[in-house]
Chain A
């Protein structure tokens, strides 16, 4: 089936992308928080195979940089010093998944620093920071979507199954949350929570805020599915045989909401990643020095950075493939849900 195959492709793409981010420590050459204050705003280094004298190297290399005469943040390639890229080298220690200690990196260049994606104002490696920031932003998006879906599923199922007054009250509540422009709501909720917090607290706070704001839409959709599901013949038959409400919900009704919930998840995750990015961009989310895609982009709020250092824009570009993956996944899931089921 074509839609099934599409689904597999999209899942594979997303899996690969997330794999890179999960193993950020391995793929990034340096510690994302390590500073080199003498080298602010290093531009991305070009990878060469042919050196200045015209001879070809099999091992890719970059030229080291030296400050241009009379400037503090402008550099030129120092063609006298080639830095050969070495693969699978030992470098800065990191922890895989936050637990497993490791020192192995995909590439490095001995003691010299190679900035493939450029560096920021403190001389931190942007590639390492983008990868580490992805961990924060994606995890926030995933957890927030999980939270919102949990709320949405339970509230929607309750409203749909019990109906009557419960339904009315819960759905009026959902309408309230849907009536607010969601970014404003996010702001309002964030406004009344403490501002100066540690990165971990801020991270959890952001997830909680986004999750709380986002339950309404999935709840409405789940309620709709539950309403129609509980009237289906086999559910009524089960009820006739004396099945309890909890059993009915768990065994017969909730499984029918699976496709809606999955599609919603694929839609919500990128949206919530973006919510985290927005909050952090505005200084209401995860604070420095911990990188997130949002606070990496926050540098661009300074005019000088925006005007002079185009590579500070790269974190935004890094988001695009992820969003593409989720968009594809959502449409493939939708297609599968709409396709007539075999044997149904």
Chain B
């Protein structure tokens, strides 16, 4: 329990640090949302100044930071100038979609990477291993952006998949099983892009971790006892190789979040990515800060879960 608490404190500290960091960046910002209004002759300069005062942009940075923390505590996370509403509700809807995408992708990526990695580690240096390794090399070499655009090209050319978006026209009138199907069909391409960009590294790490365990003396001994292959691999080798893989799980979550940002924009998935991009172009300060912070929250949360899993899986950490 002390361990969990310590990890939790660590995560909170990280989130706090990130929020300070993003706020510090805002001081570097030349210009803000209202600067464009200043150029508009139909808006009096006094109005702009009043607006600035209303949104507290004229306050010094520490004051703004504290006010913002207070608004986070109220569950608002600041105010969006462009949407003229608190940031939090905007973010929640988008974050849900982003999570849906990246969690599904994480799930599938691991479902593919784990068996393939083990399979190739067991045949280290033989033909199947070479095939897997070269396949991952090919995927590593193709940039994410090219992958996403290529899949989109495929969708447009073949018409098998909808070319972007999350739901079809007339979604609201569908019965709910059809709704689920509709979302699933729209998810297919972005999830494929994310999975393909994530699996090469995962496969390589699984392969390395399992191969290392297979070399050890206790595995040889277990083999000598005549324990069947499948049981040997999944009951003995995998738990022993689990530690680095669990840490990798937290990391892969972060990588997929970053990756989904780009994929969302390319495939017009209504997640955090497009919202963040719009907010940057409009200088919608608090939306940017909120988006970055929320994504950090996911990542830190993922690492926290990985830490807890590690605690559960590894008795050595428990006794420390």
| Contact surface of A with B, Cβ cutoff 8 Å | 172, 175-176, 179-185, 187-195, 274, 277-278, 281-284, 297, 300-301, 303, 306-307, 310, 313, 316-317, 319-320, 323-324, 327
Task: Mark interface residues in B123-144 (1 if CB within 8 Å of A CB, else 0).
Answer: 0000000000000010011111
Knowing A176-B14, A184-B257 are in contact, say whether A316-B146 is a contact too (CB < 8 A): yes
Question: Are A310 and B279 within 8 A (Cβ)?
Answer: no
Contact of A187 among B144, B257, B261, B266 (CB under 8 A): B261
Residues of B within 8 A of A (CB): 14, 17-18, 21-22, 25-26, 28-31, 137, 140-146, 149-150, 152-153, 156-157, 163, 254-255, 257-259, 261-262, 265-266, 276-277, 279-281, 283, 288-289, 291-292, 295-296, 298-300, 303
Residues of A within 8 A of B141 (CB): 320, 323-324, 327
The reply to whether A179 and B143 contact each other, CB–CB distance below 8 Å, is: no
Check A172 against B17 for contact (C-beta < 8 Å). Answer: yes
**Cβ-defined partner of A183 (8 Å) among B28, B163, B262:** B262
Residue of B143, B163, B280 near A191 (CB, 8 A) is B280
**Set of chain B residues within 8 Å of A310, measured between Cβ atoms:** 153
A residues near B157, Cβ cutoff 8 Å = 307
Residues of B contacting A184 in the complex (Cβ-Cβ under 8 angstroms): 257-258, 261, 276, 291-292, 295-296
Shortest CB–CB separation between residue A218 and chain B, in angstroms? 17
Shortest Cβ gap from A209 to chain B (Å): 10
- Apart from A190-B280, A191-B288: 16 A-B pairs, beta carbons within 8 A: A175-B14, A176-B18, A179-B17, A179-B296, A179-B303, A180-B296, A184-B292, A192-B288, A282-B262, A282-B265, A283-B281, A300-B149, A300-B152, A320-B143, A323-B141, A324-B137
For the complex of A and B, 3 pairs with smallest distance between CB atoms:
A316-B146, A192-B29, A183-B258
Q: Which residues of B contact A306 (CB under 8 A)?
A: 149, 152-153, 156, 163
A306 to B141, CA, bound (A): 22
Complex contacts, B296 vs chain A, CB 8 Å: 179-181, 184
CA distance A323 to B197 in the complex (A): 14
Q: Which residue of B lies closest to A283 (CB)?
A: B281
Q: Which of B18, B140, B259, B280 contacts A327 (CB 8 A)?
A: B140
B28 lies within 8 A of A181 (CB): no
Q: How far is the CA of A183 from the CA of B260 in the complex (A)?
A: 10
Cα distance, A324 to B134, chains bound together (Å)? 12
Docked complex Cα distance between A187 and B22 (Å): 11
B146 touches A188 (CB 8 A): no
Q: A281 near B276 (CB under 8 angstroms)?
A: no
For A313, list chain B residues within 8 Å (CB).
146, 149-150, 153
5 contacts between A and B (CB under 8 A): A180-B292, A189-B25, A195-B283, A306-B156, A307-B156
- Chain A residues near B152: list those with CB within 8 A: 300, 306
Chain B nearest Cβ from A240, distance in angstroms: 35
B299 interface neighbour in A181, A277, A316, Cβ under 8 Å? A181
Whether the pair B143, A187 counts as a contact (CB closer than 8 A) is: no
A192, B28: Cβ atoms closer than 8 Å: yes
Given A176-B14, A181-B261, A183-B258, do A192 and B25 touch, yes or no (CB 8 Å)?
A: yes
Q: A176 — which chain B residues lie within 8 A by C-beta?
A: 14, 17-18, 21
A257 to B156 CA separation, bound complex (whole angstroms) = 49
Closest beta carbon of chain B to A4's beta carbon, Å: 21
Per the bound structure, the CA–CA distance linking A180 and B295 in Å amounts to 8
Chain A residues, Cβ within 8 Å of B140: 323, 327
A274 to B144 alpha-carbon distance, docked (Å): 9
Q: Is B18's CB under 8 angstroms from A180's CB? A: yes
- Name A310's closest neighbour in chain B (CB-CB): B153
Q: Are A191 and B279 in contact (CB under 8 A)?
A: yes
Distance, CA A182 to CA B18, complexed state (A): 12
Q: Are A187 and B276 in contact (CB under 8 A)?
A: yes
CA distance A303 to B29 in the complex (A): 33
Complex: A129 Cα to B255 Cα, angstroms: 31
Nearest opposing residue in chain B for A284, CB measure: B280
Which residues of A sit under 8 angstroms from B265, Cβ to Cβ?
A: 282
Nearest residue, chain A, Cβ from B279: A191
Is A317 touching B146 in the complex (CB atoms < 8 A)?
A: yes
Given A183-B261, A324-B141, verify A193-B28 contact (CB < 8 Å).
Answer: yes
Q: A181-B296, A192-B29, A274-B145 are in contact. Are A187 and B153 (CB under 8 A)?
A: no
Known: A176-B17, A182-B258, A278-B262. A316 touches B292 (CB 8 A): no
CB distance from B307 to the nearest CB of A (A): 13
Residues of A contacting B291 in the complex (Cβ-Cβ under 8 angstroms): 184
**Which residues of A are found within 8 Å of B277, using beta-carbon distances?**
187, 282
Say whether B143 contacts A327, CB under 8 Å.
Answer: no
> Which residue from chain B places its CB closest to the CB of A331 in the assembled complex?
B137
Q: How far is the CB of A322 from chain B (nearest CB, A)?
A: 9
The smallest C-beta distance from B116 to any residue of chain A, in angstroms, reads: 19
B145 contacts which of A175, A278, A324 (Cβ < 8 Å)? Answer: A278
The residues of A that contact B26 with a CB separation of less than 8 Å are: 192
A175 to B42, CA, bound (A): 48
Nearest-Cβ distance from residue B106 to partner chain A, whole angstroms: 13
Q: Which residues of A contact B144 (CB under 8 A)?
A: 274
The chain B residue with its CB closest to the CB of A315 is: B146
Partner of A195, one of B261, B266, B276, B281: B281
